[in-house]
Amino acid sequence: MRVDDQPRGAVAIIANARGDLLLHLRDDVPHIAWPGHWSVLGGGCDPGESPHQAIVRELHEEAGLAVADLDELFEVPDVHGSGQLITVYSGTWEGEAAALALTEGTKLDWVAPDLLDILLIPPFIRTALHRYLADRP
């Protein structure tokens, strides 16, 4: 498979002023990638859609969230889940996670970075989170 033909996706690591990360507890159903895992918001690119367009759409669809300062960071492959090459974005948002209009998954919550190691997180998301945190002052 050529890289141009690889399925694509996008996720957003959203932080607040305290440095907490907005995490999404995925539904625990067998037909989705990474059921019952904590993740960040995001999803696959629709045909003809760029990763940036996909993450803006996914944030709105999954949580009614608009993040003005999305920055593209890097790419990570989801080898054992969707098979997609995932573009990772970061941004900031201040607000109550429970007040967001969640349309997929079980819940959204702010999580302190020192609690990440005790959560069930997909390996590619864990890699992305650790890389993101290592690059922060």
- Summarize pLDDT for 17-37 with one digit per residue, the tens: 999 999 999 999 988 889 999
Spatial contact of 85 and 51, defined as CB atoms under 8 Å apart:
no
pTM, entire model: 0.93
Residue of 78, 14, 63 lying closest to 40 (CA atoms): 14
- For the chain, list residues with pLDDT below 50: 1-2
Query: Domains of the chain (ranges plus CATH)?
Result: 3-134 (3.90.79.10)
Q: Give residue 4's pLDDT.
A: 62
Tokens of 34: 């990474």
